[in-house]
Amino acid sequence: MCRAAFGKRFLNAAPGTVAEARVWETENGHLVDAFAGASPRAVTAWCWVNKPAFYLDYAVRSGSQPVLIGGIGGDIARAPKPGPPVSE
């Protein structure tokens, strides 16, 4: 799913569900309506994407627009671990 959504910008991925994506809150609000109409158990992927000096994490579901979950930037020594963004 991540490669199809982001091509060469995709760094790593981990499996997830629609329910896991819907619990996140971003600067644009809570994602309770992410992937409207999809079952909470439907499969998604957590996809980290690379931009210069910045990493973005998306929830992706086939047939839907990717949903931006969050990002990290600055002096980062390595790419984030696959999965949702977490504090290290």
Ranges of each domain in the chain? 2-73
Residues 32-86: pLDDT tens digits?
889 999 999 999 999 999 877 789 999 999 999 999 998 888 777 777 888 888 7
pLDDT in the model for residue 84: 84
**Who contacts 40 (Cβ-Cβ below 8 Å, separation ≥6)?**
17, 18, 19, 22
Q: Can you tell me which residue has the tokens 């819907």?
A: 22
pLDDT at 19: 95
- Which contacts (CB < 8 Å, 24+ apart) does range 50-57 have? 50/9, 50/11, 50/79, 51/9, 55/11, 55/79, 55/80, 57/84, 57/85
Report the pLDDT averaged over residues 8-18. Answer: 93
Residue 88's pLDDT is what? 44
pLDDT at 15 over 90: yes
Place of tokens 């809570």: 30
